[in-house]
Structures are given as C-alpha cells and as structure tokens.
Amino acid sequence: MENFKKGFILMEVFSLVVIIVILITIVIIVFFPNKDKNSLDAAKQIATSIANQIRNISLDGGGIVAPLDNSTGGGPICTICSSNEKWPSLAKTGYVYNVITDSNIFHGDYSFSLVKQDEYSIAVSLSNGVISISINGLVLKEDTPSLSKTEEVCGFLIVGGYGVVLAKDGKCWLDRNLGAKNIAKSYNDSNAYGDLYQWGRGADGHQVRDSGTTTILSITDSPGNNNFIKNSVSDYSWRDPMNYNLWQGVNGINNPCPTGFRLPTISEWETLISTERIINSATAYNSTLKLVAGGYRGFDNANINLLNTYGFYWASSISTPYPFSINFGKSSIDFDNKYPYANGESVRCVKN
C-alpha cells in the first residue's frame, strides 16, 4: 500500500510537470510562432542588455538620446553622464531600431523597439521611472530604479545640458562651470574651465575665452555684441553707468544660469567652502563641485591670467563699489575679495 501511494504521488508530480511543459509550449507558440529557442534567447539578451544600460544611465543622471543611426545603432547613449556607453550596434543581428522617443530627463517617458522582420519585436521603455521589457507584446520584466539622494533633494539630475550635484551644504549645484565641456578630471582640466563672464552680463558670447574685445562701454544691460569690454579707468565697469541690480536672483536681469538656477551669494559660497572644507585648489577640486583653476580675464587688457594656478568664481553679492568673488590657489583660498565688474571670471550656478 505504501509503495502504491508513493507511485501515485510520483504520477501526480509527473502529470504536473507535463502540464507545465504544455502550457509553456502554448505560450511560445502563441507569442513566438515558428521561432527556435536560440533566437528567443538572443532576443532576450539584447533586450535585457539595453534595458540594463538605460537603468544604469538613469541612476547616473544621464539623458537618453537616440542612436547615431536609427537603423543599426552606434553613438553615445546619453548626453550627461560619467560613463562612455554607446548604443549597441545591431549590424550583425538582423535587427533595426524603431520608434525612438527621448526627453533627456530621468523621469520622462522614452522608449524604443528593435524589430527583426518575421521574427521578434523587442520593446524597452521607461515611464515614470519604471523600466519595462517585452517581446512580441509579452512583458518579460519590469523594474523601478531606486532614486539617488541627489534626485530626492534636487528633483532632477540634468538641466540645460548640465548635470546636478548635491553638495555638503545641502544645496543643488551644477556639476561644472558654465561653458565647460565636461566634469573636471583634475584641478587643471582645460575642458572643465568653461567660460569667463564679466559680472552682470548675459550669455551673449563675450564670455568665450577668446572672444573679441572693445573699449566702447555699453549704455544698456545688453551691449548688443559679443565683445569682451575692456575698461582701465573709472570704476572698471563694462557698462556706463553700472547697474548694480544685475544677476540678483533666479529672475535677475542677465542671469546666465539654466532655468531654476542662479549665481550664488557670497554667503552661500562661504557655507559651501566651510562644509566642503575647501582650503586650496586641491581641496576645491576634491569637493563635490570639482572646482577648477581656470584663471581670470583681465578687466583692462582681456588677457587670461593665473591659468592652471588660481580659480576665480563670481558671487551675485555686491559691496560697493565692487562685487564679491572667491578665489583659491595652491596654498590658500579667499572668499572676501572684490573685483572690477569688467573682470572675466568663472560662474557656477546653484538651484534657487
């Protein structure tokens, strides 16, 4: 009798396995007709690989962009991120990319599909932070990337083509100087120096390090040209008379920062320097903001001075007759300096 019961149980288990196999076969036939297992596995691997790339880039703060070639891929997969990942090439797979939507923000909706004629349609999408992978309409995986502390506080990780970092002062700052090509890789990384703005001027082209020059002072807040205005007399301003209300707040006149950002006050600079323990160019670079020694452009001759040696950053604050600026070098930092309005200095923006 005992052996009979064991045999019966084994028959039940065997029957259950057979039923499961039949069901799996039905699913494969319904959703993937006339497809062999190797092709299905290859499709899964492609979908999973790209989904993982998207997930990692989302957490890294990069904005997803369309492939260089909408047919076979290639080119950077993100705009602002620390990785150098590229879209996988589909040239040897028989697949092509189809229907790309990108919004360059983490919580935006973007999606794409890979299509192989008469075989599989692989869809990968991100909607409100949830990644979904499906093949021929059958959802294989859904995943919600966890939010970073920066995103929880700042609300986004990329703005106006710049990344956003959460500094030790609790404020959200751009991850690089205005005009910089990349996040600094050293305190003297030339690609991270960025532009040099005259205090109070907008992004009219004068800030480019090799822009043309003129000695004709402007009589308006917007000079109407892209020249660096030199002035070796009077109050050393680029405007006559100088308007001391420029760059005041996120809605301030000529604010050059991305939407929602502004120049920091001297008080905010002081707090950042204290919390990040910045005492020289080395610690400035090692800080969350990765500040660099980009030098300054002289108000009187437009020459670039102290490049690779000192960093100069504007504050929005003024102590008549000049605005505040911080600067640091190999062995010191000074956050109580005031420089002429016509000086050209770096700008690092903070979220309002």
Last residue of a domain, one of 97, 125, 143: 143
Alpha-carbon span 160 to 174, nearest angstrom = 10
Alpha-carbon span 197 to 205, nearest angstrom = 9
Last residue of a domain, one of 143, 169, 188: 143
Can you point out the beta strands (E) in 136-248? 138-143, 158-159, 162-166, 172-174, 197-198, 213-214, 228-229
In this structure, is residue 294 part of a structural domain?
yes
**237 DSSP 8-state letter:** -
237 and 110 in a common domain: no
> pLDDT at position 320, please?
81
Q: Output the CA angle 4-6-9, nearest 5 degrees.
A: 110
Q: CA-CA distances (angstroms) from residue 2 to 7, 8, 10, 182, 210?
A: 9, 10, 13, 75, 94
In this structure, is residue 10 part of a structural domain?
no
> pLDDT at position 304, please?
98
Q: Where are the alpha helices (DSSP H) in 32-129?
A: 37-60
Which one, of 151, 143, 157, 148, lies nearest residue 52 by Cα? 143
205 and 128 in a common domain: no
> pLDDT at position 87, please?
74
285 and 164 in a common domain: yes
Peptide bond into 241 cis (omega under 30): yes
329 and 212 in a common domain: yes
Tell me if 173 sits within 8 A of 347, measured CB to CB.
Answer: no
97 and 46 in a common domain: yes
The tokens for 135 are 């093949």
In this structure, is residue 19 part of a structural domain?
no
> pLDDT at position 54, please?
65
Residues 6 or more apart whose Cβ sits within 8 Å of residue 102: 63, 64, 65, 66, 108, 110
Alpha-carbon span 22 to 20, nearest angstrom = 5
> pLDDT at position 29, please?
45
157 and 96 in a common domain: no
The tokens for 208 are 């480019």
Q: CA-CA distances (angstroms) from residue 322 to 60, 184, 195, 201, 340?
A: 40, 29, 21, 15, 6
In this structure, is residue 9 part of a structural domain?
no
Alpha-carbon span 315 to 350, nearest angstrom = 11
> pLDDT at position 248, please?
98
Alpha-carbon span 290 to 217, nearest angstrom = 34
213 and 74 in a common domain: no
**Three-class SS state of 271:** helix
In this structure, is residue 26 part of a structural domain?
no
214 and 75 in a common domain: no
Last residue of a domain, one of 143, 172, 204: 143
In this structure, is residue 24 part of a structural domain?
no
- Strand-pair category, 213-214 with 228-229: parallel
Count of the separate structural domains present in the chain: 2
**Three-class SS state of 341:** coil
pLDDT in tens, the chain (352 residues): 444 444 444 455 445 444 544 544 444 444 444 445 566 666 667 666 776 666 665 555 556 666 666 566 667 776 655 556 677 777 666 777 765 554 444 444 566 677 776 666 777 776 655 667 777 777 766 666 566 777 778 876 667 778 889 999 999 999 999 999 889 999 999 999 999 999 999 999 999 999 999 999 999 999 999 999 999 988 899 999 999 999 999 999 999 999 899 999 999 999 999 999 999 999 999 999 999 999 999 999 999 999 999 999 999 999 888 999 999 999 999 987 899 999 999 999 999 9
Q: Exposure of 290 by Cβ count < 10 A (0-12 exposed, 13-18 middle, 19+ buried)?
A: buried
Alpha-carbon span 197 to 339, nearest angstrom = 12
167 and 124 in a common domain: no
Give the range of the structural domain holding residue 82, as residue numbers without chain letter. 34-143
> pLDDT at position 106, please?
42
Which one, of 96, 6, 110, lies nearest residue 63 by Cα? 110
Q: CA-CA distances (angstroms) from residue 223 to 213, 227, 314?
A: 12, 9, 20
295 and 218 in a common domain: yes
DSSP string for residues in 307-336: TTT-EEEEEEEEETTEEEEEEE-SS-EEEE
In this structure, is residue 261 part of a structural domain?
yes
